[in-house]
Structure 1
Amino acid sequence: MLARAIKNALTKASRPVFRFRGHVHAKMATNNRFIPSTSARAASTATLPPTSDDRDLIAFFDVPSGNSASSGTSTGIFGHPSLTSPQALESIADAVLRRARLLTERVLRAPQSRSEMFKVVKNLDRLSDLLCSVVDLAEFVRNAHPDPKWVESANNLYESLSEFMNVLNTHVGLYNVLKTVLADPELFDALSKEGQETALVFWRDFEKCAIDLPDAHRSRFVSLSTEILVLGRQFMNDELRVRPPAVIRAEELDGLKDQGMGIRLKNQAFWTRRDLQVYPGSLQAQMIMRSAPKEEPRRKVYIASNSSTEEELYLLEKLLRTRGELARLVGSQSFAHMELVGKMAKSPENVRHFLDALMARNRPNAKRALLKLSRRKQAHLNTKPNPVIQPWDRDYYCPPEPPAPPIPLPRLTLGTVFMGLSRLFKHLYGVTLRPANVVPGQVWHPDVRKLEVVDEDNEILGFIYADLFDRRGKPGGAAHYTVSCSRRVDDDDESGDYTSAEAWNDPRLAFSREFGSIHRMRRRGREGVYQISVVALLCDFTSRSGAVGPKTLEWYQVLTLAHEMGHAMHSMFGQTEYHSVSGTRCATDFVELPSILMETFLTSPRVLSLFDINGKFGIGHKSNHDEDPCHFIDTHSQILLADLDQIYHSEAVLSPAFDSTQALATLFGSQSLIPYVDGTSWQTRFGHLYPYGATYYSYLFDRTIASRVWSKLFAGNPLSRETGERFKGEMLRHGGGKDPWVMLSSLLNAPELESGDARVMREIGNWKLENEGAIPDRH
């Protein structure tokens, strides 16, 4: 039985045992300028008459007083009665550690009682939920809360519980009890399918944590894991990434296309009688790269932006080597081999099959796109035919333009966008977004809005907290945080956690029970009481402070919001019995599929008609876009980044001769269409190497699958309730509790995909990406 369970586990998606990783999903910052396709059927759809819910949503986000706290008893963050001060986090840490130790002891005692052995997987999942709910909360607070005292307390809470979780991940006693369950046919077969998958998730992650090795090796595993965490935080710290400026002479900026900023820069040089110092990443640097006719200032800015200090290179290479050492410690060939067990790709070799096929498909179009840029450069500089496009030429001859909708749209305020998304969810899934009042203390900033996700029977599926505006100290970018996962709770048998009445009455333990008791509901049509999903969305939209009227979103912000709401819907519908496989707790190379697909819906005029509340705008179907050849170049660049990620997490990093810059130069020298520039080392700016180590390919992979799902299922009728229910039922509701390949093959009615082997990975690499088409070979 154990052999069968292990064989099954190796083909399924895994999540960590007692870690929060996987709950936070940040939208990848890529160079891809997503230009929506207009190939979907553009049949007219009558605009829905506005409902009171539509108007309420618009007012909720667009009227400043829309989120005023309701009267009533004050509470703490997310409605936790105790979370009213930073000090409460310290109390929670102490209480949760006490309860976690009791649960750990209960699992270790389980072999003394046959009935307790049937509860082992449930209790391990409860232990994981207990710890993750608090660590995830700490991770969110330290990123979102504007008060430094809260941030400091959250950091302390995070560190204290992370250390305890590292101990649990290498706990031989827990592993042996679980292995007994897996080896006993009666115990294993008594579990539901979700329960069996949860058991295998725990087993697989124990195996990845040196569990079968001697004590000294397990101790070394904990030490290396902690070191990787510290190195990763340092690598991601933007304050350590300050680059020296490029020194630009005023005459080098003659003829700037951007006359406004160009004149200001030249005046600055004139009045100060000094050369200009242009810092990488600044608006001035971006302007020069896009609009300086002379190559030299662009070259200088490029080199300044893509160079690294010795300290930065040392930090990155130490991170990569430490990951390699960790993998070798547990018997894996490389970190990539270790990390990809349980992912859809399964192995670095299969990732290679996918990327090679995708490269072969995209490369001809990318080469034709580059030829167009070369002809532009030839005409501009009056050179010989086909001059080489250098890295600093890319943005000048094909200036990055902000994405725009495929058709003219009315003014998209924040409230209008949420209304449109709510209408879309109602068409597809029968759920709507509804404004929810908050009581004093429930949110951490006045700009935060709370939404209920409500089905057609008026049952609440979950809550979304939307923290969408930038502010001092808040990290940039966008992210989806899971605050509370779905989990069945009425069969927890909490009294069995305590060995005495004295322990049950301990006020510190009562405090932890209270902390975990909110956000519970009996599900209609399902047996039992469940935790309901609570998520938070963080974005960095420009604040509306001082602005007149509601905030209007740029199109890229609309796409960002749709992406994050795709994650949120996955959390809402993936309401499983077990926390460990709920919602977005699934394989890294599967989790982006729902969110990328949600962006793709915004390529459809029929979908975009839902954003017109009055039906007076007269939405048409003519594209705003000329063909942009540069997205093929950008896709080529993303493939190379995924290649580099695989190299950096291969066994090569353990060689004493490993040099990350040389590896970069070799790869780009042989594969890139734009030359590598000697002396540059931009890999230290490749921030995704830490959170997406060995899995950076996932975005290309899920973009490809999302394009196929869209074209096969939704393109012809994107508002079909039948198709939406099918996608929800086949893909979203299982969370990580079912093999993604089985779900995908069923959804697409393609049983040949179920194996997910090398052949299938190559086939997916040959699928079309969104908006893919041959570039005409003309000027």
Structure 2
Amino acid sequence: MLKRLQRAGWTCPQCASHQSKVTRRCLVTTSNAKGSGAAAAKAVGEEYQPVTKAAPGIAHDDRTLRQIFDSPHTWKEFSTKAKHRYGGKSAGLFQNRYLTRPDGFQDFAAVTLVKCKRIVEKVLGYRSVGELRRVARDLDRLSDLLCRVIDLSDFVRSVHPDRKVQAAASQAYSSMFEYMNVLNTTTGLNDQLKRAAAIPEIYDSWSEEERTVAAILIKDFSKSAIDLEETDRQAFVNISNEIAEVGNAFVENMEAATPSLQFESSRMKGMDPMFVRQMTRWGSVALPTIGMPAIMAMRSVEDPETRREIYMANRASSRVSLQRLEQLLKRRAEIAKLGGYESYAHMTLTDKMAQSPEAVTSFLDALAKENAPRAKEELRELLELKSGDARAGNFPAEINAWDRDYYTSQVMSSMRSKTRAPDFLSAYFSLGTVMQGLSRLFHRLYGIRLVPRETLPGETWNSDVRRLDVIDDQEGHIAVIYCDLFERPGKSPNPAHFTLRCSRKISEEEMQEAAELSSQTGAIFNTAQEAANDGLATNFSPRDGHALYQLPTIALICDFALAPASSDRPTLLTVRELTTLFHEMGHALHSICGRTALQNVSGTRCATDFAELPSVLMENFASAPEVLALYARHWETDAPLDCDRIRERVDVEKRMQGAEIEGQVLLGMLDQVYHSSRPLKWKEGGTGAESTTLYHDIWRQYSAVPEPAGTSWQGFFGHLYGYGATYYSYLFDRAISGKIWRDVFQRSQGGAIDPRSGERFREEVLRHGGGRDGWQCVGGVLGRDELKAGGREAMEEVGRWGVHS
């Protein structure tokens, strides 16, 4: 499809027990737009000199970076400079000159729609080889124009506090989304793209990026049933709508067969008494069977029979939830068959690294085998602990499903008691020092750094949002990051990375068009360069003959607690929050460095099972001694952190990793079997028995602990909707990132911050975004040419690596 939806924010499986994605002073004349690229590059070069590692401003930028996140006074002083300088006049959200007021969203959408229609008219009229050669780039630009409005509007409507702005953004989103759906069923665009790709003279002249984008768009058109007859196409649309409706209902209304259980309070011994008291009335405890209360009970209640009852209720879905799930899976199987695919998994995986469900199964089988000894040893340790816990009817010779969380919690508590309290480590991780550390790490590995930039009036959606410009030693300004990292009422607690605008090359023709449109609609831009990117950041790329590029514009969202206003203490991060920030910065790094000429393959716009690789790899740097030495200092004394202390904490977190990996393998296998062709045989309006049978089949085959009859946990597996047939991706990227960490970054003579390792990873992986096959990237960075062809054997090899860091 022309608009490739951004990944839904990945929700870490560990947290699910955590998602996948604008100046009006002088008229811009046409003669300005026609100026040569070289002249324009020279003009910008006078204003934007690329910095070097010896630049005197680096130390100042480094200090300021820490201060604006750690000192509210410094941030207030820093952020008010631009307001005084610009007299309070709004520059527009993200400096998008249309978005100075709510009504500007409609203007933004309207101008964009004019540009889109011009492109569609041109593409449909192409006849000659010279004209058809432009199709891939034209359709990529069409996609970019849609994304400019849809991605930005979708983000604004979810984070902006002003309801008028929310409503305006939603209206712009809806209007452009509706137009996108029209384009995705415009057969002429698909026909012209296929016609161009089939002409050897054209295909051979295309760049690797153009060929990749053409292949992506052809597949996306195919997945939207554009090649089907009208009757089948309408059926495809109807089923798609039903899938969306049922899928959302399934996720939003998951419920247990038994919503709550009643116990005498004495049966809850072992659980926090204060928590039990909150649920107790007249000596009876009313325990919700899903959510944190049930999880806490299964980890702490001493009586095994009570834990068994809670476990059974916690793992049994309501009949309605199961019916919705089976309807979702059956419709997905039907839509795949309508599109000519064997199953929904086959349809989904055609453009992923895995390519087929058989390859996914090979990967998960190999991973399960590699992980089995670790999981078995962990289970032996739990059984040893249980054997010393003499209770009537406790089955001391085996670990039951309702025992695992309880005894695992005891093992973890024992280990934590031997280490210092978590707040001891937090004192070394003020948000400012961590951001400073990230910038220092990026500078050493990749030659890029984070530089605080004053925001203009109206540029951000909240006064706490910091803007950082990403500066490359050789290329100058290459990206913009808006950091919304502090908690506030009504804000989502889920960490996330959003690409609001992708990298893309801006042509001279676009500059001319921007000047013409600006003159027709009223001059709100100072230059054609501004008009071509709606006022957002641009720069000239030394890698591409100083061609003009729109810069990646990124938003990072976290929910870190603010220190009390009466305290001098900055925001301090826990080890988990530290790892989360490094993870999200890994996604940002991919967007920053994946500066491609075409937006469909820019940054994180890559295969789903490749998208988490940079972010998961970044988690390793959070606790690496060489990296900690760059930044981890006590917020009061400035004393450096003893790296052994965080290693102890990391070891605790990984203590029962074998069981966690086993659980993810189970869910990955369940996801594959559910998205096979089997649901085609299910009856309409089933009772849930079909999906429950498959659920227990998978657990019998892959779980070290038997799942008792009577459970139907699949009704709580919400990721089945958002990650249908791709749930394996997170494990897959963890295995690859662990291998890269060990073989590239840890084996280097310079350790984890060796610039040679950073250059290798940037050139082989990050730089390409989604414009290079993922297997080529993995094989290239590891120096393993045999992996570059991918396929089932390569998937199995990754499984044999296991998940280690």
Deviations 1:607-643 (A, max 9, x none): 1111235873253446415675421011100000000
User: Residues of 2 paired with 1:240 and 1:444: CA distance?
Assistant: 36
Pick aligned residue for 1:526 from 544, 547, 554 = 544
Q: Structure 1 residue 495: deviation in Å?
A: 5.8
1:698 aligns with 729
User: Residues of 2 paired with 1:92 and 1:234: CA distance?
Assistant: 33
User: Residues of 1 paired with 2:137 and 2:790: CA distance?
Assistant: 30
Pick aligned residue for 1:639 from 665, 668, 671 = 665
1:40 aligns with none
- The AA in structure 2 aligned to 1:63 is S
Deviations 1:87-119 (A, max 9, x none): 4334433443343222211110112x5543232
2:698 aligns with 667
Deviations 1:153-185 (A, max 9, x none): 444433333332223223210111111211222
2:556 aligns with 537
* CA gap 1:328/1:494 in 2 versus in 1, 3 angstroms: farther
Q: Answer whether contact 1:131 1:161 (CA < 8 A) is retained.
A: yes
> Is 2:344 aligned against 1:335?
yes
Alignment map for 1:26-175 (pairs within 5 Å)? 26-30=10-14, 51-65=59-73, 66=75, 68-69=79-80, 70-71=82-83, 72=86, 73-111=89-127, 113-175=128-190
2:481 aligns with 464
User: Residues of 2 paired with 1:610 and 1:321: CA distance?
Assistant: 53
User: Residues of 2 paired with 1:308 and 1:90: CA distance?
Assistant: 44
Pick aligned residue for 1:448 from 455, 461, 465 = 465
Deviations 1:347-370 (A, max 9, x none): 000001100011111122212211
Pick aligned residue for 2:793 from 747, 751, 759 = 759
Q: Structure 1 residue 645: deviation in Å?
A: 0.8
> Is 2:498 aligned against 1:481?
yes
Alignment map for 1:602-613 (pairs within 5 Å)? 602-613=622-633
Q: Answer whether contact 1:95 1:508 (CA < 8 A) is retained.
A: no
Q: Answer whether contact 2:279 2:286 (CA < 8 A) is retained.
A: no
Q: Structure 1 residue 758: deviation in Å?
A: 1.5
Q: Structure 1 residue 78: deviation in Å?
A: 1.4
Q: Answer whether contact 2:425 2:575 (CA < 8 A) is retained.
A: no
Q: How many residues align?
A: 732
> Is 2:774 aligned against 1:724?
no
Q: Answer whether contact 1:228 1:319 (CA < 8 A) is retained.
A: yes
User: Residues of 1 paired with 2:295 and 2:407: CA distance?
Assistant: 14
- The AA in structure 2 aligned to 1:102 is R
Pick aligned residue for 1:365 from 361, 364, 374 = 374
Please, which runs of 5 or more residues in structure 1 have no aligned partner? Answer: 1-16, 35-49, 772-779
Alignment map for 1:208-227 (pairs within 5 Å)? 208-227=223-242
> Is 2:573 aligned against 1:553?
yes
* CA gap 1:494/1:423 in 2 versus in 1, 3 angstroms: closer
2:276 aligns with 265
Partner SS state of residue 609, structure 2:
helix
- Which range is displaced more, 164-173 or 626-635? 626-635
> Is 2:639 aligned against 1:616?
yes
> Is 2:5 aligned against 1:21?
yes
User: Quick one: higher RCO (CA 8 Å, sep 6+), 1 or 2?
Assistant: 1
Q: Structure 2-normalised TM-score? A: 0.84
- The AA in structure 2 aligned to 1:477 is N
> Is 2:607 aligned against 1:590?
no
Partner SS state of residue 538, structure 1:
strand
User: Residues of 2 paired with 1:205 and 1:141: CA distance?
Assistant: 27
Alignment map for 1:148-547 (pairs within 5 Å)? 148-237=163-252, 244-256=259-271, 258=272, 262-263=273-274, 265-266=276-277, 269=280, 272-280=281-289, 283-382=292-391, 386-399=396-409, 411-457=428-474, 459-493=476-510, 505=520, 516-527=534-545, 528-544=547-563
Q: Structure 1 residue 492: deviation in Å?
A: 4.2
Deviations 1:444-501 (A, max 9, x none): 1222221111122581111111122344443332221110100001244476799xx8
1:735 aligns with 769
RMSD of aligned C-alpha atoms?
Answer: 3.2
Q: Answer whether contact 1:609 1:619 (CA < 8 A) is retained.
A: no
User: Residues of 2 paired with 1:464 and 1:752: CA distance?
Assistant: 37
User: Residues of 1 paired with 2:291 and 2:778: CA distance?
Assistant: 43
Q: Structure 1 residue 644: deviation in Å?
A: 0.7
Q: Answer whether contact 2:628 2:641 (CA < 8 A) is retained.
A: no
User: Residues of 2 paired with 1:318 and 1:531: CA distance?
Assistant: 43
- The AA in structure 2 aligned to 1:644 is L
User: Residues of 2 paired with 1:200 and 1:263: CA distance?
Assistant: 59
* CA gap 1:235/1:492 in 2 versus in 1, 3 angstroms: farther
- The AA in structure 1 aligned to 2:478 is L
Q: Answer whether contact 2:628 2:643 (CA < 8 A) is retained.
A: no
Q: Answer whether contact 1:77 1:444 (CA < 8 A) is retained.
A: yes
User: Residues of 1 paired with 2:278 and 2:208: CA distance?
Assistant: 70
* CA gap 1:334/1:33 in 2 versus in 1, 3 angstroms: closer
Q: Answer whether contact 2:629 2:640 (CA < 8 A) is retained.
A: no
Q: Structure 1 residue 409: deviation in Å?
A: 7.6
User: Residues of 1 paired with 2:694 and 2:710: CA distance?
Assistant: 13
Deviations 1:399-441 (A, max 9, x none): 2679999996852111111111111111100111111211222
* CA gap 1:98/1:302 in 2 versus in 1, 3 angstroms: farther
User: Residues of 1 paired with 2:532 and 2:289: CA distance?
Assistant: 50
Q: Structure 1-normalised TM-score? A: 0.87
Please, which runs of 5 or more residues in structure 2 have no aligned partner? Answer: 19-57, 684-688
- Which range is displaced more, 546-555 or 579-588? 546-555
User: Residues of 2 paired with 1:95 and 1:474: CA distance?
Assistant: 31
User: Residues of 2 paired with 1:661 and 1:28: CA distance?
Assistant: 25
> Is 2:679 aligned against 1:653?
yes
- Which range is displaced more, 719-728 or 57-66? 57-66
* CA gap 1:23/1:359 in 2 versus in 1, 3 angstroms: closer
Percent identity over the alignment is 38
* CA gap 1:674/1:19 in 2 versus in 1, 3 angstroms: farther
User: Residues of 2 paired with 1:87 and 1:227: CA distance?
Assistant: 33
User: Residues of 2 paired with 1:132 and 1:56: CA distance?
Assistant: 33
* CA gap 1:473/1:209 in 2 versus in 1, 3 angstroms: same
* CA gap 1:79/1:274 in 2 versus in 1, 3 angstroms: farther
Q: Structure 1 residue 530: deviation in Å?
A: 0.3
User: Residues of 1 paired with 2:165 and 2:240: CA distance?
Assistant: 26
Partner SS state of residue 482, structure 2:
strand
* CA gap 1:279/1:447 in 2 versus in 1, 3 angstroms: farther
* CA gap 1:320/1:489 in 2 versus in 1, 3 angstroms: same
Q: Answer whether contact 1:145 1:151 (CA < 8 A) is retained.
A: yes
User: Residues of 1 paired with 2:669 and 2:96: CA distance?
Assistant: 45
Q: Answer whether contact 2:371 2:802 (CA < 8 A) is retained.
A: no
User: Residues of 2 paired with 1:734 and 1:624: CA distance?
Assistant: 37
Partner SS state of residue 480, structure 1:
strand
Q: Answer whether contact 1:291 1:396 (CA < 8 A) is retained.
A: yes
- Which range is displaced more, 221-230 or 337-346? 221-230
Q: Answer whether contact 2:157 2:166 (CA < 8 A) is retained.
A: yes
User: Residues of 1 paired with 2:205 and 2:777: CA distance?
Assistant: 23
- Which range is displaced more, 351-360 or 99-108? 99-108
* CA gap 1:665/1:398 in 2 versus in 1, 3 angstroms: same
- Which range is displaced more, 150-159 or 555-564? 150-159
